Amino acid sequence: MNKPGTSGLIFNEELIFERSRPNRPGVPLNPPDVPLRDAGDLIGAENLRDDIDGFPEVSELDVVRHFTRLSQWNYSIDTGFYPLGSCTMKYNPKVNETAAALPGLADVHPMSPDSALQGILGLASEVEQILIEISGLDRVTLQPAAGAQGEFVGMMMIQAYHRARGDHQRKRVLIPDTAHGTNPASAALNGMEVVEVKSGDDGIVHPAALEALLDERTSALMLTNPNTLGLFESHVEELAELVHAAGGLVYLDGANMNALMGVAKPGDMGIDVMHFNLHKTFSTPHGGGGPGAGPVAVREILEPYLPSPIVRRDGEQFKLDADRPQSIGRVHGFHGNAGMWIRALAYIRTLGAEGLVDVTETAVLNANYILAELKSHYDVPHDRTVMHECVLSDRKQQSTGVTTADIAKRLMDYGFHPPTIYFPLVIPGALMIEPTETESLEDLDRFIDAMRSIAEESKTSPEQVTSAPSLPKVRRLDEVRAARKPRLRWTQDQAE
Amino acid sequence: MAAKTYEVPDDYHYSTSDEWVRVDGAVVKVGLTDYAQSELSDIVFVEIPEVGTQVEAGQTFGVVESVKAVSDLLAPISGEIVEVHATLDEHPEWLNEDPYGRGWIIGIAPEDLDAVEALQTPDEYRASIKERSGT
């Protein structure tokens, strides 16, 4: 079978500053046909900026070549398989881009009066209704700009709820050791105290472990389901009942909704508030191609605290309602990253309800296929049917000195983006693989072949793995030196 | 390459979160064990509190960051921090190179010196590493 990405010509490229030559203009301008006046006379000399030292002087072609070459060093879902666990790096259909670029949507001014925003507010309301249906909850805000901001907003609303009830002592957030890493940060940023819940030997949280930590200080349980081991928290209903009985609320980190969408509703599991990652589950661009979008869904009891304003339907008209005295306030300059929820709507409408169920089922099938095909080659800490991702470890490779980092680097030589590594922390040397539903059987098989070859090389020629990668533009980087002695910007004196 | 072995000196006590303590007169020195530094791999940043900070056993007193992970440092015993190893700021690699010596992190004036005796003995700690790493 053909290995992807193992031949081709990649150009070396210097920094744009190093391409600079004195007095080389980008575009030559004609002399002005009006009298020149001194800028200092017009706005005051004190308002003029000093010359920028080392500002690059380059031609248009220099700029085009520079950035085109850099773009060719890049790796993206459009060039290859990108199995980063818990990141849901699915293909982003181009029709989403077409929809978001429609002039009637892209050129709307966010400061326009509601009467001039009826179309886009109608779409916002439609996205909210769909997310309500998928979550099994009652209301949605589209404002949060990413998953972590969604978590932050969710925890803020939970705090507002407890305060409104006079429960000022409820500051403790219980977070399983298999949750996403952002969860403790979001709780701590809200001034809450984080308490870790240990998962059981089977990789999921057991009611007894949770119950021992619940008391009148409990604010919330923050659950990632499926968790970062790719396992469904099958006690979720009982966990939620225990938290509710203790007076707390249950937050769901919805980053892994690609395993549940259309099949199981978090509201039915006892979840009170959750965020979605539109840039994961709903195929909007991810990472450098973002921005993200992290809508939050809540149960009725939290509705008063939703960020302001909210979209309200008033007969045939849509309004932005800011008259919300108990709201936690605005969390985004305008109504969220609108281009993102428009893309998500295009995705949802393209697939339809049945298509979304197919997405979930195929995502789960693909992860289990990879697990089944690799489990005789790699250690599987929890050998169970998984959801949308699976976790392997480097335990079998350690005897020849090959580590998870080496396996990840070697995958680049085979033309694949490495999976998430060393996370979750509960599994030493974790390799967390999320294939998503958009990969074909042939691409999954190529990845599996690569992983098997690396397992074989680890036995027969480990140095081939520990010295990888050999093919990418940039070989193994000195990550330690980069972290200990970072050089964050180019300066003239470094060049000299 | 044989399975890794980890240094567990006999004159130290050990917390369940992989900190060591060594009684040094009236002060108890605290650092990270060889097993902990090996699991973390190359440590690139250490955040240490100021002298005078009160710490409670089991509570976070600082943070270590490696190329693999960010990890809390938990106080093995309660007391007041009376010494901090400020040079670690410049030399986080000492935590890897000499975890039981130059890699010491803080000195605590303990509320109760006997609390040290309640921590794991070297043998208990060796057993706990064995259970976790399978070596």
Domains and CATH numbers, chain A: 16-72 (no CATH), 95-349 (3.40.640.10), 357-482 (3.90.1150.10)
Q: What is the pLDDT of residue A288?
A: 66
Q: What is the pLDDT of residue A328?
A: 97
Using the predicted structure, report yes or no on whether residue B1 has a pLDDT greater than 50. Answer: no
Task: Measure CB to CB from residue A422 to each of B3, B4, B69 and give the nearest one.
Answer: B69
Neighbours of A480 (CB within 10 A): 17
Q: What is the pLDDT of residue B69?
A: 83
Task: Measure CB to CB from residue A480 to each of B67, B132, B134 and give the nearest one.
Answer: B67
Residue of B1, B37, B38 to mutate, testing the A interface (most A Cβ within 10 Å of its Cβ): B1
Q: Compute the distance between CA of residue A149 and CA of residue B70 in angstroms, rounded to an integer.
A: 21
Using the predicted structure, report yes or no on whether residue A457 has a pLDDT greater than 70. Answer: yes
Nearest of B72, B70, B50, B48 to residue B60 by alpha carbon: B72
Range B8-36 average pLDDT:
95
What secondary structure does DSSP assign to A358-397, as a single string?
HHHHHHHHHHHHHHHHHTTTSB-SS-S--SS-EEEESTTT
The token duo for A18 is 């190093």
The alpha-carbon gap from B71 to the nearest alpha carbon of chain A, in Å, equals 10
Distances from the Cα of A486 to the Cαs of A482, A490, A494, in angstroms? 5, 12, 14
Give the pLDDT band (50/70/90) at residue A289.
low
In the DSSP assignment, the letter for residue A318 is E
Q: Which residues of A touch B3 (CB under 8 A)?
A: 398-399
pLDDT, tens digit, 9 for 90 and up, residues B64-84: 999 888 888 999 999 999 999
pLDDT, tens digit, 9 for 90 and up, residues B93-102: 999 999 999 9
Range A24-42 average pLDDT:
89
Q: What is the pLDDT of residue A489?
A: 84
Task: Measure CB to CB from residue B69 to each of A401, A425, A484 and give the nearest one.
Answer: A425
pLDDT, tens digit, 9 for 90 and up, residues A363-389: 999 999 999 999 999 999 999 999 999
The alpha-carbon gap from B6 to the nearest alpha carbon of chain A, in Å, equals 15
B18 touching A (Cβ < 8 Å): no
Query: For residue A424, is the peptide bond before it cis, meaning its omega torsion is within 30 degrees of 0?
Result: yes
Domain ranges of chain B: 13-126
Q: Compute the distance between CA of residue A333 and CA of residue A10 in angstroms, rounded to an integer.
A: 41
Nearest of A103, A414, A144 to residue A306 by alpha carbon: A144
Which residues are bridge partners to A310 per DSSP?
A: A321
Radius of gyration of chain A measured on its C-alpha atoms: 26
Q: From 3.40.50.10860, 2.40.50.100, 2.40.50.140, 2.40.37.10, which CATH number describes the B13-126 domain?
A: 2.40.50.100
Range A455-478 average pLDDT:
94
Query: For residue A469, is the peptide bond before it cis, meaning its omega torsion is within 30 degrees of 0?
Result: yes
The residue length of chain B stands at: 135
Question: Where are the alpha helices (H) located in A84-167, listed in sequence order?
Answer: 94-100, 103-106, 118-135, 147-164
Identify the H or E element spanning A484.
Answer: helix A479-484
B16 touching A (Cβ < 8 Å): no
Q: Which residues of B touch A423 (CB under 8 A)?
A: 69
Q: Compute the distance between CA of residue A152 and CA of residue A354 in angstroms, rounded to an integer.
A: 32
Q: Which residues of B touch A479 (CB under 8 A)?
A: 42, 67
B47 touching A (Cβ < 8 Å): no
Range A420-449 average pLDDT:
95
- Amino acid residing at A7: S
Q: Compute the distance between CA of residue A240 and CA of residue A375 in angstroms, rounded to an integer.
A: 33
In the DSSP assignment, the letter for residue A57 is -
The alpha-carbon gap from B131 to the nearest alpha carbon of chain A, in Å, equals 13
Q: Which residues of B touch A400 (CB under 8 A)?
A: 1
pLDDT, tens digit, 9 for 90 and up, residues B44-64: 999 999 999 999 999 889 999
Identify the H or E element spanning B95.
Answer: helix B94-97
In the DSSP assignment, the letter for residue B120 is B
Does the beta-carbon distance from B1 to A484 stay under 8 Å? Answer: no
Nearest of B75, B13, B16, B79 to residue B48 by alpha carbon: B75
Task: Measure CB to CB from residue B42 to each of A395, A425, A480 and give the nearest one.
Answer: A480
Q: Compute the distance between CA of residue A494 and CA of residue B10 in angstroms, rounded to an integer.
A: 49
Provide CB contacts within 8 A for A436, sequence distance 6+: A83, A88, A89, A90, A91, A258, A363, A366, A388
Residue of B43, B67, B74, B135 to mutate, testing the A interface (most A Cβ within 10 Å of its Cβ): B67
Task: Measure CB to CB from residue A479 to each of B67, B69, B134 and give the nearest one.
Answer: B67
Using the predicted structure, report yes or no on whether residue A233 has a pLDDT greater than 80. Answer: yes
Task: Measure CB to CB from residue B1 to each of A395, A400, A425 and give the nearest one.
Answer: A400
Give the pLDDT band (50/70/90) at residue A283.
very high
Between A and B, how many residue pairs show a Cβ–Cβ distance under 8 A? 29
pLDDT, tens digit, 9 for 90 and up, residues A94-127: 999 999 999 999 999 989 999 999 999 999 999 9
Mean pLDDT of chain A: 94
Does the beta-carbon distance from A484 to B93 stay under 8 Å? Answer: yes
Q: Is A181 exposed, middle or buried (0-12, 13-18, 19+ CB in 10 A)?
A: middle
Q: Which residues of A touch B44 (CB under 8 A)?
A: 480, 483-484
Q: Compute the distance between CA of residue A291 and CA of residue A339 in angstroms, rounded to an integer.
A: 9
The token duo for A459 is 């036995």
Q: Which residues of B touch A425 (CB under 8 A)?
A: 69
Tokens 């409820």 — which residue? A170
pLDDT, tens digit, 9 for 90 and up, residues A117-173: 999 999 999 999 999 999 999 999 999 999 999 999 999 999 999 999 999 999 999
Task: Assess contact for A223 and A179: CB atoms under 8 A.
Answer: yes
Give the pLDDT band (50/70/90) at residue A5.
low
Using the predicted structure, report yes or no on whether residue A4 has a pLDDT greater than 80. Answer: no
Give the pLDDT band (50/70/90) at residue A495.
low
Does the beta-carbon distance from A483 to B45 stay under 8 Å? Answer: yes
Q: What is the pLDDT of residue A409?
A: 96
Task: Assess contact for A158 and A251: CB atoms under 8 A.
Answer: yes
Instruction: Calculate what percentage of chain A has a pLDDT beyond 90.
Output: 84
Q: Pick A485 or A91 by higher pLDDT.
A: A91
Strand ranges across the sheet with B54-55: B13-14, B19-24, B27-32, B106-110, B79-84, B54-55
Task: Assess contact for A394 and A379: CB atoms under 8 A.
Answer: yes
CA dihedral of A63, A64, A67, A68, whole degrees rounded to 10: -160
Q: Which residues of A touch B65 (CB under 8 A)?
A: 483
In the DSSP assignment, the letter for residue A449 is H
The alpha-carbon gap from B25 to the nearest alpha carbon of chain A, in Å, equals 34
